[in-house]
Amino acid sequence: MATLAADAPVQATGDDRFFLRAAIAMALTVAAGFSLQLAAGRSSFHSPLLVHAHAITFMGWVTLYLLQNVFVATDRMALHRRLGWIGAVWLVPMLVLGCWVTVAMVRRGQVPFFFRPLQFLVFDPTTLFAFIGLTVAAVTLRRETAWHRRLHFCGMSLLLGPAFGRLLPLPLLQPWAWEVTFAATLLFPAAGVIADLRRSGHVHPAWRWGIGTMLAVLVLTEAVTYSPVGNALYGPVTAGSKGAAIAPLAFAKPPLGPQVTGRSDGD
């Protein structure tokens, strides 16, 4: 969250205004992506409990992040700090459910057809761990408000991949669907860099660390996916499941109808 801002002073109005507007834009991006998914018939409310728990938890984080920026912009720092502790605890179920859902989809052979199964198995947890790392760093630097909010911002940007993935025509972008989606998540930090330059004429170093961490996700994902390490990971994860019959780097055939996410057919 833009959490735990301790007793740090409120930032300049322009800084607050940028982060609030960006948080609203992020929330709208998530809402648009998943609303489009539902309208197109690619989502189902008959998904397993695990999928619903995952969705509620991650949507909850989007709400927390937006509220934290509202509280800062309106100088309600007591509420900001209290909600920050909730956000810190919220990371635990996000990590558990995020990794759990990824493994379940790979084992069931339910990876979207425009992603390589092994790449999906790698990039989802890698993204999540990078998000956790940036968030923990932001909390640690909560007294350094400029660092705190920029590191949180980059972490939140990483979580926008699924939303952008539902807005972009990913089937037409194969075999680069994930890379294009990742590139879209960099749009918000890029806007933050531009905002810094316009306000002060220089870029805060937190952006270099935040964006650098995001780019590390890309490099690590590609390195593991196309190396023996990836194959060594894929085998044990899919052992005894439908996913074991799917080549780790092969794209599945497109479905005849809409691909419904989170369907409940078993392993």
Is 205's pLDDT higher than 80? yes
pLDDT (tens digit per residue) in 154-165: 999 999 999 999
**Confidence (pTM):** 0.89
**167 φ/ψ angles, rounded to the nearest 5 degrees:** -95, -30
Query: 112-121, 166-175, 222-231, 246-255 — which is least confidently predicted?
Result: 246-255
Return the H-helix or E-strand segment holding 22.
helix 13-39
Q: What is the DSSP letter of 46?
A: T
Q: 3-state SS of 83-125?
A: HHHHHHHHHHHHHHHHHHHHHHHHHCCCCCCCCCHHHHHHHHH
How many angstroms separate the CA atoms of 58 and 256, rounded? 30
Decide: helix, strand or coil at residue 56. Answer: helix
**How much is the average pLDDT of 79-99?**
95
- 123 HSE (CA, 13 A, CB side): 24
Per-residue confidence at 13, pLDDT binned at 50, 70, 90? low
Is 7's pLDDT higher than 70? no
How many angstroms separate the CA atoms of 98 and 214, rounded? 18
pLDDT (tens digit per residue) in 158-194: 999 999 999 999 999 999 999 999 999 999 999 999 9
Q: What residues contact residue 170 under an 8 Å CB cut-off, 6+ apart?
A: 112, 114, 177, 180, 181
Decide: helix, strand or coil at residue 266. Answer: coil
